[in-house]
Amino acid sequence: MFGPIKPVRRAYHRLFNRDRTFVRAIAGVIGSTPDNLRLYRLALTHTSFARQNASGKHETNERLEFLGDAILGSVVAEHLFNKFPYEDEGFLTEIRSRIVNRESLNQIAVKIGLNLLVKVDTTNHGTRHRSVNGNALEALVGAIYLDKGYDKTRHFILSKLLKPHIDLHSLTTTTSNFKSKLIEWAQSQNLDIRFEIIKRKHQGNTTEFTSEVYIDNKAIAVGVGLSKKKADQFAAEKGLTALKIS
């Protein structure tokens, strides 16, 4: 009559240890112990994984991503507003865009180790596109907000994301014409080069442009800006880095 107890106990211990490991991982990322584990598991569940592992209705991190995007933008906007009291709205909007654009968030997500925690369908290598980790970071912000409240979420954004990983001085003083430099290099190598706007994202009264630069029809870098010109510049900057051109 006591036969099933041991298997049940083993299953319980496996579940307990899994939760304990996950708690430690999240605490290491956000700097505090999570209370509602379900929120964080959901934040790190990509749509592809949910579809792969469930039939019928499934939950993903998309709703948390929506919430986190709004909170992240708000905290960054407030920080810039206080940091640059004499700059106009256009300057503040541009710097905020450079901080919270998808490429920047992807890089930050990897730096804090979030890419190691995201659940994604690994059977389809095309699924892990460049936005998976950045989306998960936004969803994580949403999870922290629901779990800990606004003040602790704001502290996480400023102390764990912005200050350690964003060089505001570099963002605000970069004025080089990267596009001209990259074009000159390509011409000197007898290579074809072109810039193409591949995405437009409307945010209120502004439009965020995504530019991709191609050399001999091979995409080498992507940049995001609040105008086509600035998006091209950022793409060119990334291209120069990728090609190791100083």
Distance between CA atoms of residues 137 and 170, nearest Å: 23
Q: Kindly name the residue from 65, 94, 138, 208 that is annotated as catalytic.
A: 138
Whether 167 is catalytic = no
Compute the Cα dihedral for 85, 88, 91, 93 and give only its sign.
Answer: positive
Q: Which is it for strands 218-225 and 193-203: parallel, antiparallel or unpaired?
A: unpaired
Tell me, what's the pLDDT at 197?
A: 94
pLDDT above 90 covers a percentage of the chain that reads 49
- Among residues 78, 100, 246, 67, which one has the least CA distance to residue 166? 100
Q: Give the span between the Cα atoms of 60 and 56, in whole angstroms.
A: 13
Catalytic residue among 65, 69, 103, 237: 69
Question: Stretch 61-89: mean pLDDT, rounded?
Answer: 93
pLDDT digits 0-9 by tens, 164-192: 999 988 877 764 578 888 999 999 999 99
**212 in catalytic set:** no
Domains of the chain: 5-173 (1.10.1520.10), 178-242 (3.30.160.20)
CA distance 210 to 149: 33
How long a stretch of residues is the chain? 246
Mean pLDDT of 190-203: 90
Q: Which amino acid is at 53?
A: N
pLDDT tens digit sequence for 125-168: 544 456 889 999 999 999 999 999 999 999 999 999 999 999 98
Six token digits for residue 105: 């968030």
In this predicted structure, the answer to whether residue 238 has a pLDDT above a threshold of 60 is: yes
Task: Give mean pLDDT, residues 75-87.
Answer: 93
